[in-house]
Every structure is written in C-alpha cells, then in structure tokens.
Amino acid sequence: MATRVEQKAATRRRVLAAASEIFFREGYAAAGLREIAMEAGIAPATLYKHVRNKAELYVEVLLECGGAFGDQIQAVLDGGGPARDQLGALAELQFGFWSRHPDYVPIFWVLDNQDLVGRLPRSQVKRVVSLWKLPLRALETVLQRGMDRGEFAQGDAWTLANVLWNAGNLAFELKHSPERRRVLDRPLEEFYRSALALTTRGLTAAPQAGLDP
C-alpha cells in the first residue's frame, strides 16, 4: 500500500501532466484550474493543496520540463573533450529540445507578455530565469574553455553565449510564423546546422605562425 508521501507525489505528477497538456493546448490565459483538476482526476480543492494559483502551477510545469534538460547540459560539461565538440553537443541538445517540444515556444511567450495575460509572482519568475541561465552559463563555460586552450579566438564569453543561444531560439520561433518561415526558404534543420558550422568556423582561433604544417 502506497504511503501518504508516495500518494502525494503521484498526485503531483498527474497534476503536472494535466497542466502541461492544457497549457500547451489552450495557452496560459484560457487554461483554468478547475479544468486541470478534472483532467488530473482530482477535486479542485485537492489541487489547491498542491499549488496556490495558476501562475505557480504554470511555473512548476516549466521547471519540471526544464529540469531534465539541465541534467543533459551538465553531462556535456562533465564529458570533457575539445571545446568545439562540446559546443556542437550543446547545439544538438538545443535543437533536439525545441524539436521535441515545439509547444514550449508559445508557453514561454507568456513570460514576456505578462501585461496581456496577467502578472506572474516575481518569486516564480526568478525561478524560471534561474533555469534559463543554465544553458547560457554552460555555453559560457565551453566558450571560455576554448579560449583558454587556444581553440577559440579571444572575446567576451558571456556576451557570445547570449548571442548564440538567442540566435538558436529565434530560429525555432520561425516554426510558429509561416510568413517568416517562407522568407527563410529552407528547412529549419538545414538552416540551424549551417548557422552552427559558420559560427564555429568564425570562432576558431587562427593558427600561430610556424606551428601548423
């Protein structure tokens, strides 16, 4: 027989699964806690034992989805190898994440448009911002490693990490804009990988005179 702690954990998993489906299907503004409770198979009163409001539940969904992604990023950092290869691995993670979860694009849109959909508690937003910083800090680490080893040209690793990550995210936003996608006029994967190759080539430090054959 399941303990009380196990039952609570199982209920939380059902709530997060139901909330994810409804948020992604209907958007943050249209989603209702009563509907989420019904989808999870619990009473609304039970739902309020797990979350205080819709904004908190929304953030919990984002954090749940992003946690596994953070673990994968850390595995790349711990794996070692040339910085160039690690940069490629992080790019593959980004591409794979957005390819598997295209619905996350409009979901994250909520954070940037709170005047339209309602303000989220600042404490909750700070938690999401901390999650967003994980891939940026990982990129910064890899870029700095490359610069320290002479693989990459010297520069501001943090600024460059932001440029690379946001450029990648912008590419995936094209999936939700048919007009802009027509301007791109090529498959998204081809565009993304070509951009990565050009970026890596531009980052590569020039060989020192007399050291290269």
Judged on CB neighbours under 10 Å (0-12, 13-18, 19+), 170 is exposed
Task: State the pTM of this model.
Answer: 0.70
Residue reference for tokens 């399941």: 2
Q: What are 158-202's pLDDT values in tens digits?
A: 999 998 888 777 776 776 667 776 777 777 778 778 888 888 888
Average pLDDT, the chain: 80
Query: CA 9 to CA 12: how far, in whole Å?
Result: 5
Mean of the pLDDT values across residues 36-49?
88
Distance CA 102, CA 121 (A): 25
**Position 209 confidence tier, pLDDT thresholds 50, 70, 90:** very low
Nearest CA-CA partner of 56 in 134, 106, 122, 1: 122
Domains and CATH numbers, the chain: 1-51 (1.10.10.60), 53-203 (1.10.357.10)
Taking the C-alpha atoms of residue 90 and residue 78, their distance in angstroms, rounded to an integer, is 12
Across 6-30, b (16+ Cβ under 10 Å) vs e yields eeeeebbebbbebbbbbbbeeebee
Tens of pLDDT, residue by residue over 92-108, are 888 887 777 666 665 56
Helix, strand or coil, per DSSP, at residue 152: strand
Q: What per-residue confidence (pLDDT) applies to 211?
A: 41
- Which tops the pLDDT comparison, 125 or 21? 21
